[in-house]
C-alpha cells in the first residue's frame, strides 16, 4: 500500500468519525459533505474513477438537498406546534 | 431499561459482531492480490471484444447482463416511493414566493447552469470511453436543474422541469433499458447482449448497443433525480401550515 492510500484511508476514518461525533444535524450535513469529498479522493487513489465520479455527483448534489429539506421540514413542524400552543 | 442492562446487551452484541467481523477478515487475500477469474478475464478481453476503453462501462451495460436491470430499478423504485409518499395535489407550489431577485446571483446562474449542463452531457456521453457514464452524467444533468432553482427560484425550476416531462423521462429511460436488454435476448440469446456493430475503439461510435443503454440510463437517472428534487423542493417551499393540513 502506498503512503497516499494510507493517508486517504486515515482521512476517511477521521472524517467519518467527525460526522458521527457532531450532534447538530445541519452541521452534520456539512461534515458529511467533507466525508464524501475525502471518499472521492480515496476512490481516485485506489484507481476507481467511475466510483469516484458517482460519489462526487451524489454526495455533492442529491444527498445534501434531500437531508437539508428533511431537516427544515421537521424543524418547521415543531416550530408550528410551538406557535399553536402560545 | 436500565443503563446496566443496556450495557450488558451491548457487550454481548458487540462481542458477537466483533467476532464475526474478525472471522470475515481473517481469510481476506493480501492487499493488492486480486486472484478471481472474472475481473482478469474482462480486463483482458473487453477492449478487443467491444472496442470500449472503459471496461467498467462495458461490464455494466453488456457482460453483466440482467444484474444491471435490477440495479436500474433500485433507483426507479426508490424514487417511485418518494413520489408516492410526498406527492399530493399541486396547488400551493406555484405560489411559492422564493424567486431570486438578486441580479448578480441570476447572472452567475447564466454561466454556471450552462457549464454544469454541458459537463453532465459530457460525463454521460463519454461514459464508455473515459470514466463516467449514464448514472453519473444523469445526476450532474439534474444538478444543472437544481442550480436553476438555486439562482432562480422554484417557479423557474418547475417551468423547466414540469412533472409531466420528468415522470415521462424517468419511465421512458427505465423502459428503454429493459427493452434494449430484451432486444439482446431476442437477437443474441442473452439478456443485455450486444446486438450492434462494435465500431471504432476509443470513439463515441464504439461499443455497439452500449451507448444506447448508457443514454437510456442517463435519461432515467436524470428524470429520477429531478422527480426527487421536485418532491423535496415542493415540500420545502410550501408553507408548513398548509403542508401539514393536506
pLDDT tens track for A5-27: 999 999 999 999 999 999 998 89
DSSP string, B106-169: HHHHHHHHHHHHHHHHHHHHTTTTSS--HHHHHHHHHHHHHHHHHHH-HHHHHHHS-HHHHHHH
Neighbours of B131 (CB within 10 A): 20
CB B127 within 8 A of CB B61: no
d(CA B163, CA A57): 23
**A80/B244 Cβ within 8 A:** yes
d(CA B21, CA B237): 45
Which residue of chain A has the CA closest to B129?
A50
* Chain A environment of B232 (Cβ under 8 Å): 65-66, 69-70
pLDDT over 50 (residue B79)? yes
Which A residues, 3 through 32, put their C-beta within 8 Å of a C-beta on chain B? Answer: none
Helices A63-85 and A25-45: angle between axes, nearest 10 degrees? 170
DSSP string, B135-153: HHHHHHHHHHHHHHHHHH-
DSSP-derived letter for residue B206 is T
Nearest-CA neighbor of B213 among B137, B134, B139? B134
- The grid coordinates of residue B3 equal 443503563
**A50/B136 Cβ within 8 A:** yes
How many domains does one find in chain A? 1
* Chain B environment of A80 (Cβ under 8 Å): 240-241, 244
Q: Is A79 on the interface with B (CB under 8 A)?
A: yes
Contacts of B145 (CB under 8 A, 6+ apart): B157, B160, B161, B226, B229
Per-residue pLDDT at A12: 96
Query: SS3 sequence, chain A?
Result: CCHHHHHHHHHHHHHHHHHHHCCCHHHHHHHHHHHHHHHHHHHHHCCCHHHHHHHHHHHHHHHHHHHHHHHHHHHHHHHHHHHHHC
pLDDT tens track for B90-123: 555 555 667 888 889 889 988 999 999 999 999 9
Domain ranges across chain B: 3-245
Residue A86's pLDDT band (boundaries 50, 70, 90)? Answer: very low
Q: How large is the ipTM?
A: 0.82
The structure's pTM equals 0.85
pLDDT over 60 (residue B135)? yes
- The grid coordinates of residue B209 equal 448497443
Per-residue pLDDT at A85: 46
**B140/A61 Cβ within 8 A:** yes
pLDDT tens track for A25-83: 889 999 999 999 999 999 999 989 999 999 999 988 888 888 888 888 777 755 444 44
Nearest-CA neighbor of B140 among A21, A33, A52, A62? A62
**B56/A69 Cβ within 8 A:** no
pLDDT tens track for B189-224: 888 888 887 788 878 888 888 999 999 999 999 999
User: Which of A61, A63, A67, A74 is the best residue to mutate to test the B interface, defined by the most B CB atoms within 10 Å of its own CB?
Assistant: A61
> From the list A49, A58, A66, which residue is nearest B131 (CB)?
A49
**A79/B240 Cβ within 8 A:** yes
Per-residue pLDDT at B78: 93
- Residue A52 to chain B, least CA–CA distance (Å): 9
**A61/B225 Cβ within 8 A:** yes
**A54/B232 Cβ within 8 A:** no
Nearest-CA neighbor of B133 among B245, B52, B194, B199? B52
Alpha-helix runs per DSSP H in chain B: 3-26, 37-50, 55-58, 66-86, 103-125, 134-152, 154-160, 163-188, 210-237, 240-245
Host domain of residue A62: 3-85
Per-residue pLDDT at A74: 79
* Chain A environment of B132 (Cβ under 8 Å): 50, 53
Which residue of chain B has the CA closest to A75?
B240
> From the list A54, A70, A73, which residue is nearest B136 (CB)?
A54
* Chain B environment of A65 (Cβ under 8 Å): 146, 229, 232-233
Amino acid at each position: 500500500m502506498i503512503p497516499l492510500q494510507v493517508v486517504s484511508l486515515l482521512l476517511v476514518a477521521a472524517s467519518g468519525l467527525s460526522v458521527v461525533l457532531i450532534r447538530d444535524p445541519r452541521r452534520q450535513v456539512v461534515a458529511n459533505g467533507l466525508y464524501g469529498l475525502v471518499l472521492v479522493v480515496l476512490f481516485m487513489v485506489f484507481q476507481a474513477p467511475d466510483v469516484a465520479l458517482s460519489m462526487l455527483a451524489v454526495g455533492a448534489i442529491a444527498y445534501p438537498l434531500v437531508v437539508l429539506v428533511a431537516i427544515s421540514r421537521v424543524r418547521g413542524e415543531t416550530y408550528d406546534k410551538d406557535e399553536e400552543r402560545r | 431499561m436500565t443503563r446496566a442492562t443496556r450495557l450488558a446487551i451491548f457487550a454481548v452484541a458487540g462481542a458477537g459482531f466483533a467476532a464475526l467481523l474478525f472471522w470475515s477478515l481473517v481469510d481476506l487475500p493480501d492487499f493488492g492480490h486480486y486472484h478471481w477469474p472474472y475481473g482478469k478475464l474482462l480486463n483482458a478481453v473487453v477492449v478487443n471484444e467491444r472496442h470500449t476503453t472503459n471496461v467498467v462501462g462495458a461490464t455494466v451495460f453488456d457482460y453483466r447482463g440482467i444484474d444491471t436491470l435490477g440495479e436500474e430499478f433500485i433507483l426507479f423504485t426508490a424514487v417511485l416511493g418518494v413520489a408516492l409518499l410526498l406527492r399530493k395535489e399541486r396547488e400551493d407550489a406555484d405560489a411559492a414566493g422564493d424567486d431570486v431577485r438578486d441580479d448578480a446571483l441570476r447572472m452567475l446562474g447564466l454561466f454556471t447552469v450552462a457549464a454544469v449542463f454541458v459537463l453532465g452531457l459530457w460525463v454521460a456521453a463519454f461514459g464508455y470511453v473515459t470514466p463516467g457514464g449514464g448514472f453519473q452524467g444523469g445526476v450532474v444533468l439534474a444538478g444543472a436543474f437544481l442550480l436553476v432553482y438555486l439562482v432562480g427560484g422554484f417557479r423557474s425550476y418547475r417551468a423547466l422541469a414540469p412533472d409531466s416531462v420528468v415522470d415521462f423521462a424517468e419511465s421512458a429511460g427505465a423502459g428503454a433499458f429493459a427493452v434494449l436488454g430484451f432486444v439482446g435476448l431476442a437477437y443474441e440469446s442473452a439478456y443485455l447482449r450486444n446486438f450492434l456493430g462494435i465500431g471504432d475503439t476509443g470513439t463515441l461510435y464504439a461499443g455497439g448497443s452500449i451507448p444506447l443503454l448508457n443514454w437510456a440510463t442517463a435519461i432515467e437517472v436524470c428524470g429520477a433525480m429531478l422527480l426527487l428534487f421536485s418532491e423535496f423542493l415542493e415540500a420545502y417551499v410550501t408553507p408548513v401550515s398548509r403542508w401539514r393540513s393536506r
